[in-house]
């Protein structure tokens, strides 16, 4: 894989290209990416598939569209026409390299993008686009947008407020910006997406389509909607091969999930397009050609460069935010959960740019098995070697760097606490909602925060009065959680090893051995933060430790786990920068 920034139609785009190692291939595949968090959660699967296709002899282009991923811009600036132009721009670049065939690869809402691109192909590109590869395609833009807006409706219900999708659509039609799950959606994005339907699209008759539905059971029959869509394409004379593949819904799961059967099926569907065999290892053969378009800095006041470094024989991908003035301390941003180096609602990208603008260099990276990095996903408890390799890379790229502050959210915060005392280069820690899970802690958090909040919730009592409340089921869940919460406390073991024992004990072990300053940011509306607070309240030693002057605890009472609003995201950035500057 080779990555770089290039000048796109509206701003600088982050582009990754996977190619066969030993031959020049004439088969190209361009990804039409999915929307928002679906892209974040799908990134490891996309990267794995791109490597597999490159091994099979294809060149694969993965581009972060303007205001998404690692590309320039904020999501509020995103426009549907810009995204379509970005893909058309990449198609023009591919045609410059004399392809024999080009396949559009569309995941979920990327299908809607592909439909628009196919309508606007230039005469120089049209003869080469011969194949459309669909993964669980979205077929109706309006339904997709309404489904996404339901996230805001659900959030409002949790606050006891009444809101409908129809009201949100009216607000957008009136020109209002909508903030949903940390993403700011403009009317210029919502309206064009809402009008796209596969059944109303006319596609080139020479196009062939490989369509894969993903389900837990490969024998699951196709939905009536999918059958109707296939019939619509066939009526246009388009050849469609559709199949159901067994696998997890990796674009929506709470943890990183993969679908190996889909990898194999996709490679097989494109086999006829390869005119020459590929090499064993995927790597870029168009480096020189891409470098001609490469640019260095997506932001005026600092520089961003893709970086690659090794760990245990695997290649890890990252983005370095370097600054023009010498800096003795930088921030290494560790990623956790189902995200990759971009972060939920691009929080990590925006935070890194905020710090870099203030003169603090930042490195964001994907550890093994995450995002664009190769290797097996070992989990946050086993990434010390990844962190060490990232610190090495950081220091090799920023010559004046002497000290590194680790920044982590959730399980990445816990991983940072485990690692910090083992490396003298680590100067400070910024930990957000550390993951200190235990079954008992989860039960206590539910009792204290979930059930108590429900008693004061207007929607709960409305449900009770309407007769929709199921007391038997709810009392059963309550009884189970009470039983778990009453089980014997697991004390914080001050002698626990860094790599074994309860998470609370291991976090205490790391923080007590680490002698640098620590900033703790804890959300008020988050079960993970609540469990950590319970661990603290149940341990006199941990409580005493956090009262030392080197610890700063910042509560954010209204924030959720990922700080999913512009207000909360910006506040985290301000707190982080202010604390780092207050030496």
Q: CATH code at 80? A: 3.40.50.1820
Helices (H) and strands (E) in the chain, counts: 20, 19
Same domain, 444 and 467: yes
How many Å apart are CA 80 and CA 190, to the nearest integer?
8
How many Å apart are CA 18 and CA 245, to the nearest integer?
24
In terms of residue numbers, what domain contains 183?
Answer: 142-195
Question: Residues of 218-236 as b/e, b for ≥16 C-beta within 10 angstroms?
Answer: eeeebeeebeebbebbeee
Same domain, 104 and 227: yes
Beta carbons of 105 and 33 less than 8 angstroms apart: no
Burial class (CB in 10 A: 0-12, 13-18, 19+), 493: middle
Which residue do the tokens 């993970």 mark? 528
How many Å apart are CA 279 and CA 13, to the nearest integer?
28
Edge-to-edge order in the sheet of strand 329-334: 303-311, 314-322, 362-365, 329-334, 403-409, 426-432, 517-523, 551-556
213: DSSP letter: E
Q: Helix axis angle, 347-357 relative to 566-581, nearest 10°?
A: 40
Angstrom CA distances, 111 to 118, 263, 408, 492, stand at 10, 18, 34, 50
How many Å apart are CA 290 and CA 4, to the nearest integer?
8
Same domain, 99 and 155: no
Residue 415 host element (H or E): helix 411-419
Same domain, 361 and 241: no
Whole-model pTM over 0.85: yes
Same domain, 254 and 272: yes
Beta carbons of 545 and 508 less than 8 angstroms apart: yes
How many Å apart are CA 104 and CA 117, to the nearest integer?
9
Question: Tokens representing 104?
Answer: 């559009």
Same domain, 90 and 150: no
Residue 63, strand partner residues? 15
Where a domain ends, among 247, 273, 289? 289
How many Å apart are CA 579 and CA 256, to the nearest integer?
32
Rg of the chain, C-alpha, whole Å? 25
Same domain, 329 and 208: no
Contacts of 227 (CB under 8 A, 6+ apart): none
pLDDT for 308 equals: 96
Nearest CA among 78, 103, 94, 72 for reference residue 8: 72
Other Cβ atoms less than 10 A from the Cβ of 440: the count is 20
Same domain, 91 and 222: yes
Beta carbons of 274 and 56 less than 8 angstroms apart: yes
Contacts of 64 (CB under 8 A, 6+ apart): 13, 14, 15, 33, 70, 71
Same domain, 324 and 419: yes
Same domain, 534 and 459: no
Same domain, 181 and 222: no
Helix, strand and coil content of the chain, in percent to the nearest 5, comes to 45, 20, 35
Contacts of 31 (CB under 8 A, 6+ apart): 46, 50, 60, 61, 62, 63, 105, 106, 107, 110
Beta carbons of 430 and 576 less than 8 angstroms apart: yes
Beta carbons of 116 and 88 less than 8 angstroms apart: no
Other Cβ atoms less than 10 A from the Cβ of 92: the count is 12
The DSSP bridge pattern shows strands 314-322 and 101-107 to be unpaired
Residue 316, strand partner residues? 309
Q: What are the E-state strand segments in 86-127? A: 101-107
pLDDT for 460 equals: 42
pLDDT for 472 equals: 56
Where a domain ends, among 426, 458, 486? 486
Where a domain ends, among 230, 256, 289? 289
pLDDT for 128 equals: 95
Contacts of 477 (CB under 8 A, 6+ apart): none
Domain count, the chain: 4
pLDDT in tens, the chain (583 residues): 899 999 999 999 999 999 987 666 789 999 999 999 999 999 999 999 999 999 999 999 999 999 999 999 999 999 999 999 999 999 999 999 889 999 999 999 999 999 999 999 999 999 999 999 999 999 999 999 999 999 999 989 888 889 999 999 999 999 999 999 999 999 999 999 999 999 899 898 889 999 999 999 999 988 898 999 999 999 999 999 999 999 999 999 888 899 999 999 999 999 988 755 444 343 444 444 554 555 554 555 678 999 999 999 999 999 999 999 999 999 999 998 888 999 999 999 999 999 999 999 999 999 999 999 999 999 999 999 999 999 999 999 999 999 999 999 999 999 999 999 999 999 999 999 999 986 655 555 544 555 445 444 444 444 545 555 455 555 555 455 445 445 444 456 555 555 567 899 999 999 999 999 999 999 999 999 999 999 999 899 999 999 999 999 999 999 999 999 999 999 999 999 999 998 6
Is the sign of the CA dihedral 407, 357, 399, 293 positive or negative? positive
How many Å apart are CA 357 and CA 322, to the nearest integer?
10
User: How many angstroms from the chain centroid is the CA of residue 47?
Assistant: 13
Question: Tokens representing 400?
Answer: 């004046």
pLDDT for 246 equals: 96
Quick check: helix, strand or coil at residue 425? coil
Question: Tokens representing 84?
Answer: 């379509």
Same domain, 177 and 230: no
């Amino acid at each position: 894989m080779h990555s770089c920034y290039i000048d796109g139609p509206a701003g600088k785009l982050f582009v990754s290209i996977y190619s066969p190692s030993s031959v020049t291939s004439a088969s190209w595949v361009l990804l039409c990416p999915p929307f928002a968090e679906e892209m974040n959660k799908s990134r490891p699967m996309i990267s794995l598939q791109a490597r597999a296709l490159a091994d099979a002899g294809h060149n694969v282009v993965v581009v972060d569209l303007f205001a998404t991923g690692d590309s320039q811009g904020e999501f509020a600036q995103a426009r549907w026409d810009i995204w379509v132009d970005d893909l058309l721009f990449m198609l023009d670049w591919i045609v410059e390299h004399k392809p024999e065939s080009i396949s559009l690869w569309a995941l979920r809402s990327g299908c809607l993008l592909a439909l628009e691109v196919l309508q606007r192909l230039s005469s120089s590109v049209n003869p080469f686009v011969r194949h459309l590869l669909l993964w669980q395609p979205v077929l109706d833009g309006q339904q997709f947008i309404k489904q996404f807006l339901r996230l805001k409706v659900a959030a409002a219900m949790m606050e006891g407020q009444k809101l409908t999708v129809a009201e949100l659509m009216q607000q957008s039609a009136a020109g209002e910006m909508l903030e949903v799950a940390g993403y700011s959606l403009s009317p210029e994005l919502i309206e064009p997406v809402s009008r796209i339907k596969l059944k109303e699209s006319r596609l080139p008759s020479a196009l062939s389509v490989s369509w894969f539905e993903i389900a837990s059971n490969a024998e699951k029959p196709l939905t009536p909607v999918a059958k109707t869509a296939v019939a619509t394409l066939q009526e246009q004379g388009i050849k469609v091969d559709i199949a159901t593949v067994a696998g997890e819904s990796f674009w929506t799961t709470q943890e990183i999930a993969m679908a190996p059967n889909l990898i194999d099926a996709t490679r097989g569907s494109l086999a006829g397009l390869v005119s020459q065999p590929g090499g064993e290892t995927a790597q870029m053969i168009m480096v020189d050609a891409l470098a001609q378009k490469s640019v260095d800095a997506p932001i005026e006041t600092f520089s961003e460069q893709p970086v690659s470094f090794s760990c245990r024989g695997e290649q890890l991908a990252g983005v370095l935010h370097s600054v023009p003035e010498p800096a003795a301390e930088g921030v290494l941003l560790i990623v956790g959960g189902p995200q990759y180096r971009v972060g939920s609602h691009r929080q990590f990208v925006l935070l890194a740019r905020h710090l870099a603008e203030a003169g603090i260099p930042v490195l964001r990276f994907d550890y093994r098995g995450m995002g664009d990095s190769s290797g097996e996903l070992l989990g946050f408890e086993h990434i010390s070697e990844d962190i060490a390799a990232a610190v090495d890379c950081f220091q090799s790229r920023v010559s004046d760097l002497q000290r590194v502050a680790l920044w982590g959210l959730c399980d990445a915060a816990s991983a940072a606490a485990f690692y910090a005392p083992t490396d003298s280069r680590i100067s400070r820690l910024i930990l957000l909602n550390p993951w200190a899970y235990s079954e008992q802690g989860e039960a206590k958090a539910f009792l204290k925060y979930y059930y108590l909040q429900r008693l004061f919730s207007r929607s709960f009592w409305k449900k009770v009065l309407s007769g929709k409340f199921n007391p038997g089921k709810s009392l059963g869940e309550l009884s189970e959680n009470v039983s778990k919460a009453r089980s014997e406390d697991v004390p914080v073991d001050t002698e626990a090893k860094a790599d074994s024992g309860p998470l609370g004990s291991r976090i205490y072990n790391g923080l007590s051995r680490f002698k640098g300053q620590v900033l703790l940011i804890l959300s008020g509306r988050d079960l993970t933060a609540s469990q950590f607070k319970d661990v603290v309240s149940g341990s006199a030693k941990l409580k005493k430790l956090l009262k030392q002057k080197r610890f700063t605890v910042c509560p954010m009472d209204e924030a959720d786990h990922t700080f999913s609003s512009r207000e909360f995201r910006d506040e985290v950035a301000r707190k982080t920068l202010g604390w780092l500057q207050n030496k």
